[in-house]
Amino acid sequence: MTAMRKQNSGFTLVELLMAMLIGSILLMISIPLYQDYQTKTKVSTGLQSAASFKSSVSQYFYINGMIPVTNQQVGLNHQDTYQHLWLESIEISDTPSAGSITITFNTNKLPSLGNDHKLVLQPSIINGHMEWRCLGNQIPEKFRPQGCD
């Protein structure tokens, strides 16, 4: 009679190492992509935070017939009161043109944006209506919201 041999039913060391290697490669690819996605989302959120500013500037123009150049003119608080975790300030100014809204991001929280970390919403009057253009050429293209030049 021959002795019954017990069969092993586990993974070999090589199989476990291969699984770890594949998992590591997937993580190396996905983590930077996810971080870029998070940064783009935060920049888009900053743009959405300025929606009330756009509305205030438009309303001021239609009521007074001129474009405001400060937050206070439209009844909004000082720029520093609009700080957020990654948002440094939102400010109405006359740079690059009257009524421009500058959204400044905190580079300590979003270092991938680089040194010049601003989006500018620039108004223009066309046939008596105010239209907005988003200027964000200082921010890397992969982080800019859709429609920002």
What residue spans define the domains of the chain? 13-143
DSSP state letter for 71: T
Residue appearing with tokens 């092993």 = 8
Tell me how far apart the alpha carbons of residues 101 and 58 are, in angstroms, rounded to a whole number. Answer: 12
| Max CA distance (Å), the chain | 106
Strands (E), the chain: 87-93, 100-105, 118-126, 129-135
> Quick one: fold of 13-143?
Glycoprotein, Type 4 Pilin (3.30.700)
Predicted model pTM? 0.79
Residues 6+ apart with CB under 8 A from 45: 87
For 71, the token pair is 């937050």
**Spans of the chain, pLDDT less than 70:** 1-8, 79-82
The answer to whether the CB of 136 falls within 8 A of the CB of 145 is yes
Residue-level pLDDT at 23: 94
Q: Beta-carbon neighbour count of residue 9 at 10 Å?
A: 5
